[in-house]
Structure 1
């Protein structure tokens, strides 16, 4: 089992930071002052009410679940839904562009989970299935339930777990509610690029009411987000031993390329939600859910990069050893050709979902309900690159005194160029890297559509089984990805071009990495003025793919409500039959010859499940032992299911060889066992310990296999000796286990001592390990998304309108999926993170300002860096430093008002 100790230097998994301790002392003084005028009756709302509601959901569920509920309408406890989910036991988030975006459940990558909205599977703007949670405004959600064990009537469930985002049901509330939220935002990294603000705002409004004597309910919500991004980043390219360091140093590994950049973003999201809830009588209820969001992101990236290979030499080299590897960590680079970058990128995401559920009670014992849903997601992206420098690559225009100092531990490296990289007389537009083009643009497009229908019949029974449910569901999903790659040449036969003064802006400072500044200009205007388009690049044709997937499920579920001797027992027993028909489409690429490809496959599974909840209250008050057993599946990554292949015939072996996707992939399959012991100490307090074991029968990883190239285009003159060749493609292979423990506690201190009423703490820690190697059984890489240790600590105070919360989220190092070159999938070793957030608030509870509240939030209080090491280790197992990024401290001040 993974240790719950240190996972990064001497940094512990859980610590109470000095700021947290100071806040606790401040809360104590507030509490003492507040008690003087404390009312005799306390209404539990806000943070404490949210905790109590979440605990009630966990306690009453037949399955093993975790839950979050909103403190009030439009007020989940964090600034994003992903951050709230990441505080739950066994769950953790990966930061993307500074935001908690994707969620790993129990050590498995996001691909192994499923995300629902009101019980319905959702499409995604990502290249695969995993949801990007920054698409969902937290202000429009009433809560989240995470199912760690499956239930047979859940026709969309994940292998690692299922995250169900919930919106309000207006007929479940009493009376009209109108809520307004307004927050201003400030980023501590300041304005890194001129004209790109570090200030933003959030606005949301919610309306809930009932009509026709409580028979018709309506909920409408709107949330607007305008948030800045200010990112300082250093990134290494690759490391190698061909360094011209002389005799005795042929084994020294040196940095062969790097970049230092300042990125500014403007991120605008608008989300709209509507719920129509109709219940004309006790036998019929029909609910229509509508959701739409649009996320528009623009960013400018300016910086400098360089390639240290080729003719670059070194003066005064400093060599250090790490993990048995001798590494060049300091000195002076000679004959370096720096590349100044000015890039402009855009991304627009649209998501929509509609769901209609109708439940009809046929008589006192039987009911039927039907559900129809449709979800769609679209992403339109544009990434552009421009290059400038001292001269074209290989012409000798170089910096001959470029100093560098690279720490092997934490912290930013320092670079000291000897030329002014912001001087437009020196830095001119050209192909500095010798890449054969002077600028590029990529236009990735993702479209995802999912329609589903479900029919469920439920009947009440007498005896050991309390009810029976049976049903059918059908869904069809279509997802496509395409990418148009456009290169540019400078006009006048690729002439070295000076950027005119009217396109030049204030210098972008990189002083935080030792570089005073770089030339900053408008890349859009430069592309339109100085460049000509080249023919579209066919190298990315393999990125054009489409996958169609049809899934039919039949299920039977028996609810259990009985007793074993003195032990009351609840739970459910069920089975699903699942059939999937899938089609992968793509392109065969051989040189400049492109031909459409298609592949089909079908498979089926029987998925039994059992959830048992033993009430041990006759032995230990308010204590429950839960057991879950199930066979679960996770469908393959959709990008892996593409039919696209790029191949050619070897001139030496006269045989075909290539690489591509595999439309005949079958899912990951696992047998799961869960055990949870929970002891409740009241409405707002409990302790629990859980163990889980997942035996994956297979794992999908790239393998070298035989492949029939009959009919494949051959752009060369070489005639193969056989149509049977080899291909490197994802395929089902050897599996392994994932197992772990989870320890959780929530405690409201008022139950221990009356003077501590209002104070409380929530804490959880999990340790996870796996025997799976994702690139095959003989490799060393770790399972993507698996952090050996995940821990959360939240201290809070809430009483008499005053509230405060200090929360710390910890995640040990893990192998994470990142966006690589040309927006393709890549992996990095992401180092441990410990992020602290602070929230202070006050709500008027009576008088003319009743229900008016103020809120101060500070996210990423310590400006925790995002650090990575290279995903492919050296032979010794050591990883070289790769990335060091800071996103700044996010400060929000808000006003909330409820009518």
Structure 2
């Protein structure tokens, strides 16, 4: 495991960022050559066609936006829509189980953004609001538009930005199209658990057609994914002193627990998209969108973990000094009680979305449109744990010569047990950790439903304002979370139990961390055969909650199209009035007594917005200066809004104290300002520089507050002095700023010289900083999701059917939201990541194989590790390593064919 100190990662250390800066400030005089006039008349497809379409969307928008368009039907540029989005300037992805899953916009956590599908807000299978983008097959989407500045006519928009996933519109296509896509997949880590394949595949088919003299269009797409996951992980638990070392070493800090695990996954996703597009005449258009996906995941985790807190001693200690802190980095542990884990987990997600939009052109330059939508998300999850080892906790059965070596440089630690932990004759089922149960299982359940209706009227105008729009929308969202915790005890009064041979499976090797292997068995069969259920754990009742939000929104918006002197100006100005009514339910938990709780509040917001686009072409050819200003909001995390509380009366002070959610939370509110300068060099090239500033008027963080516990259950014999006590709960508090710069270049080199035609580069770099401390004033924690530096570089070649691209994504270290113990929300300090992807392809452009293309793709080519450090530093300020995970290279080989 590489030791990482608390070092800054400046922009200059990133080759991507350096390349991007040079591209941005390079001369553009060569773009005026005659070759540009010739090249601009060529209609291109594939990578270059996708870039040109995306640039056209950015250039024509009133707002500051970023866009991705598919190279062709079923061909977005990455295997995951999240990976494609993460390449856009100012956006970045967080890996979950090896997949790019959630997106941070401009340094703010995923919950600050809003995800739309065809312009409509979507529900989520997460515990809160953030979308999990691996639920959306990239093959079914025609493109993505990211709005960095809001528009008053958008009734669902985020504080950090808005991501709009777009399906194709069949009547916008020229002809019938049928496309097939098939790929085989291999994970470079191989099969690390017996019976779990490292191979998989994906396939999709898309059909687009027009009927009834092109008045009726139909688009249907189906995508299937069967993807393997193979994960090798080391994780340290915590570090501390009092380590029973020879005299003079009282200040030495030692690792107090760790785990080494091998996890294999089988991920199966089926997605279906359908669009019916009806346009009988130029005045009427009605479009129905339908989307459904089901994502099933099964995983087996096998490994070893241990607690070396107070019961162990050390021999042959090896001590290293790092950053002024003396660390125990090697030696042998005596009296260690390792725990062998065999866990089986499942998760099933279902998403459904339907939307119907009808637009009508009326007389006297009036038009109207109405929109109805429904979205739902369901998650069913099971996480289980089984424990085995040499004996029960404290029984004296231990490994008395457990070697370890923790490197202070790069690399994984090495652990060398002196006992054969694969031997079923000595490794028994037992509560080795002393946790009061012999196995456990959790069943988190999430359901999310959102219904919405919107009506909009518009009138075209002449003069300073080009049009006027007004509208009204109503939405109702209901989300719930439940968790059933089931503990298990071994039969025969929790007797040590030998695993029968018929459920023992081939040994799982952990040799990459020095451990030869661990006993492997079928944990599902073991739970059925050897365990009885214990009483249900009532403490998790706090995680049972539900939230209902009702939003009514009215808006008015004026489109601007005028001239200031010699400078054409277009854009929009508008205002929204928003009323939100929220109600929440939860549980009061105290000493096993559970009582239902409810609460809620309502609030109003007036949200003005302004977008201006100044055409500076009179002074600098094809150059635009954009300005945006708006008041924006992000509604609180739903898990924070729960009404659930756990509390009790302190026996010493006889005062109430507790913790829980807060159904009276109001949103994050901010004043946002944006400035962007864009210079276009033909259809496929541009450079831009942008600055943004978000002044958050408040931030939600946990606070110790006064609370009235009247009516709260108190089964204890301690009588409180009074009903007023303290509670630790999320509340609106002091805000701060988030600001940053974004530099972007997209250049096709054919504009500089004909011999370079086909070559190109896309590069972006952003630097972001914030004054906000999410745990309140005076604390040191960083804003979740904020990486100080985010950079992307893609170099590509495409000509005569050949295509190749290599991409690198970089983000500096950040504080990320992760799934913690028992599937609950937690935070982790994630170190910088640099991931390289490669794609090579060839498309037959004539002959019997015309429109057939072949492709080889390697994602995570450098097998970039996922690394974290402990959340609190040593006294010297240095940080201890926490997690080192590799997911393996993902190699895909595939065919695409279009009729």
Asked whether the equivalents of residues 541 and 589 of structure 2 are also in contact (C-alpha less than 8 Å), the reply is yes
Q: What is the CA–CA distance in structure 1 between the aligned matches of 2:443 and 2:857, rounded to whole Å?
A: 37
Give 3-state SS (helix, strand or coil) of 1:524's partner.
helix
Look up the match of 2:72. Answer: 72
Look up the match of 1:843. Answer: 843
CA 1:437 to 1:132, structure 2 compared with 1: closer, same or farther past 3 Å?
same
Distance apart, 1:247 and its partner CA: 3.4
Give 3-state SS (helix, strand or coil) of 1:51's partner.
helix
Matched, 1:673 2:673: yes
Look up the match of 1:433. Answer: 433
Matched, 1:773 2:773: yes
1:629-778 matched pairs, under 5 angstroms = 629-778=629-778
Question: Deviations for 1:96-130, whole angstroms, at most 9, x for unmatched residues?
Answer: 00000000000000010000000000000000000
Distance apart, 1:818 and its partner CA: 1.0
Q: What is the CA–CA distance in structure 2 between the aligned matches of 1:727 and 1:266, rounded to whole Å?
A: 42
1:177-576 matched pairs, under 5 angstroms = 177-576=177-576
CA 1:195 to 1:232, structure 2 compared with 1: closer, same or farther past 3 Å?
same
Give 3-state SS (helix, strand or coil) of 2:275's partner.
strand
Give 3-state SS (helix, strand or coil) of 2:701's partner.
strand
CA 1:11 to 1:159, structure 2 compared with 1: closer, same or farther past 3 Å?
closer
Q: What is the CA–CA distance in structure 1 between the aligned matches of 2:145 and 2:895, rounded to whole Å?
A: 28
Q: What is the CA–CA distance in structure 2 between the aligned matches of 1:13 and 1:444, rounded to whole Å?
A: 43
Give 3-state SS (helix, strand or coil) of 1:171's partner.
helix
Give 3-state SS (helix, strand or coil) of 1:227's partner.
strand
Matched, 1:608 2:608: yes
Asked whether the equivalents of residues 774 and 781 of structure 1 are also in contact (C-alpha less than 8 Å), the reply is yes
Asked whether the equivalents of residues 8 and 832 of structure 1 are also in contact (C-alpha less than 8 Å), the reply is no
Distance apart, 1:409 and its partner CA: 4.2
Question: Deviations for 1:579-604, whole angstroms, at most 9, x for unmatched residues?
Answer: 11001110000011000000010011
Q: What is the CA–CA distance in structure 1 between the aligned matches of 2:123 and 2:40, rounded to whole Å?
A: 50
Distance apart, 1:7 and its partner CA: 6.9
Look up the match of 1:582. Answer: 582
Look up the match of 2:817. Answer: 817
Question: Deviations for 1:135-166, whole angstroms, at most 9, x for unmatched residues?
Answer: 00000000000000000011100000000000
Look up the match of 1:55. Answer: 55
CA 1:617 to 1:12, structure 2 compared with 1: closer, same or farther past 3 Å?
closer
Look up the match of 2:34. Answer: none
Distance apart, 1:9 and its partner CA: 7.4
Q: What is the CA–CA distance in structure 2 between the aligned matches of 1:56 and 1:147, rounded to whole Å?
A: 15
Distance apart, 1:11 and its partner CA: 10
Q: What is the CA–CA distance in structure 2 between the aligned matches of 1:534 and 1:343, rounded to whole Å?
A: 18
Asked whether the equivalents of residues 626 and 675 of structure 1 are also in contact (C-alpha less than 8 Å), the reply is yes
CA 1:111 to 1:16, structure 2 compared with 1: closer, same or farther past 3 Å?
closer
Q: What is the CA–CA distance in structure 2 between the aligned matches of 1:318 and 1:597, rounded to whole Å?
A: 55
CA 1:71 to 1:13, structure 2 compared with 1: closer, same or farther past 3 Å?
farther
Q: What is the CA–CA distance in structure 2 between the aligned matches of 1:874 and 1:289, rounded to whole Å?
A: 55
Q: What is the CA–CA distance in structure 2 between the aligned matches of 1:546 and 1:497, rounded to whole Å?
A: 41
Look up the match of 1:20. Answer: none
Look up the match of 1:158. Answer: 158
Give 3-state SS (helix, strand or coil) of 2:882's partner.
strand
Give 3-state SS (helix, strand or coil) of 1:59's partner.
helix
Matched, 1:124 2:124: yes
CA 1:777 to 1:40, structure 2 compared with 1: closer, same or farther past 3 Å?
closer
Question: Deviations for 1:747-770, whole angstroms, at most 9, x for unmatched residues?
Answer: 000000000000000000000000
Distance apart, 1:16 and its partner CA: 7.4
Give 3-state SS (helix, strand or coil) of 2:681's partner.
strand
Question: Deviations for 1:207-263, whole angstroms, at most 9, x for unmatched residues?
Answer: 000011010000000000000000000011112223222433223221111100000
CA 1:520 to 1:680, structure 2 compared with 1: closer, same or farther past 3 Å?
same
Look up the match of 1:33. Answer: none
Give 3-state SS (helix, strand or coil) of 1:134's partner.
helix
Give 3-state SS (helix, strand or coil) of 1:722's partner.
coil
Distance apart, 1:323 and its partner CA: 3.5
Q: What is the CA–CA distance in structure 1 between the aligned matches of 2:41 and 2:870, rounded to whole Å?
A: 58
Q: What is the CA–CA distance in structure 1 between the aligned matches of 2:43 and 2:466, rounded to whole Å?
A: 36
Give the unaligned 5+ runs of structure 1: 1-5, 18-38
Asked whether the equivalents of residues 474 and 552 of structure 2 are also in contact (C-alpha less than 8 Å), the reply is yes
**RMSD (Å) for aligned C-alpha atoms:** 1.6
Q: What is the CA–CA distance in structure 1 between the aligned matches of 2:523 and 2:151, rounded to whole Å?
A: 53
Q: What is the CA–CA distance in structure 2 between the aligned matches of 1:10 and 1:130, rounded to whole Å?
A: 29
Q: What is the CA–CA distance in structure 2 between the aligned matches of 1:231 and 1:276, rounded to whole Å?
A: 42
Asked whether the equivalents of residues 176 and 210 of structure 1 are also in contact (C-alpha less than 8 Å), the reply is yes
Q: What is the CA–CA distance in structure 2 between the aligned matches of 1:810 and 1:562, rounded to whole Å?
A: 41
Asked whether the equivalents of residues 373 and 451 of structure 2 are also in contact (C-alpha less than 8 Å), the reply is yes
Give 3-state SS (helix, strand or coil) of 1:506's partner.
strand
Asked whether the equivalents of residues 40 and 682 of structure 2 are also in contact (C-alpha less than 8 Å), the reply is no
Look up the match of 1:35. Answer: none
1:93-172 matched pairs, under 5 angstroms = 93-172=93-172
Q: What is the CA–CA distance in structure 1 between the aligned matches of 2:306 and 2:278, rounded to whole Å?
A: 63
Look up the match of 2:174. Answer: 174
Give the unaligned 5+ runs of structure 2: 1-5, 18-38
Q: What is the CA–CA distance in structure 1 between the aligned matches of 2:13 and 2:361, rounded to whole Å?
A: 51
Distance apart, 1:317 and its partner CA: 1.8
Distance apart, 1:15 and its partner CA: 3.2
Asked whether the equivalents of residues 812 and 832 of structure 1 are also in contact (C-alpha less than 8 Å), the reply is yes
TM-score by length of 1: 0.96
Look up the match of 1:25. Answer: none
Asked whether the equivalents of residues 408 and 881 of structure 1 are also in contact (C-alpha less than 8 Å), the reply is no
Look up the match of 1:26. Answer: none
Question: Deviations for 1:554-598, whole angstroms, at most 9, x for unmatched residues?
Answer: 001000000100000000000000111001110000011000000
CA 1:732 to 1:9, structure 2 compared with 1: closer, same or farther past 3 Å?
closer
CA 1:308 to 1:12, structure 2 compared with 1: closer, same or farther past 3 Å?
farther
Question: Deviations for 1:607-642, whole angstroms, at most 9, x for unmatched residues?
Answer: 000000000000000000000000000000000000
Distance apart, 1:876 and its partner CA: 4.5
Question: Deviations for 1:301-329, whole angstroms, at most 9, x for unmatched residues?
Answer: 00000000121111122222334332222
Q: What is the CA–CA distance in structure 1 between the aligned matches of 2:210 and 2:756, rounded to whole Å?
A: 40
Q: What is the CA–CA distance in structure 2 between the aligned matches of 1:522 and 1:506, rounded to whole Å?
A: 10
| More displaced 10-residue stretch of structure 1: 251-260 or 807-816 | 251-260
Asked whether the equivalents of residues 325 and 875 of structure 2 are also in contact (C-alpha less than 8 Å), the reply is no
| More displaced 10-residue stretch of structure 1: 593-602 or 872-881 | 872-881
Look up the match of 2:592. Answer: 592
Asked whether the equivalents of residues 9 and 812 of structure 2 are also in contact (C-alpha less than 8 Å), the reply is no
Q: What is the CA–CA distance in structure 1 between the aligned matches of 2:519 and 2:418, rounded to whole Å?
A: 15
Distance apart, 1:376 and its partner CA: 0.2
Q: What is the CA–CA distance in structure 1 between the aligned matches of 2:559 and 2:67, rounded to whole Å?
A: 22
TM-score by length of 2: 0.96
Asked whether the equivalents of residues 16 and 791 of structure 2 are also in contact (C-alpha less than 8 Å), the reply is no
Matched, 1:852 2:836: no
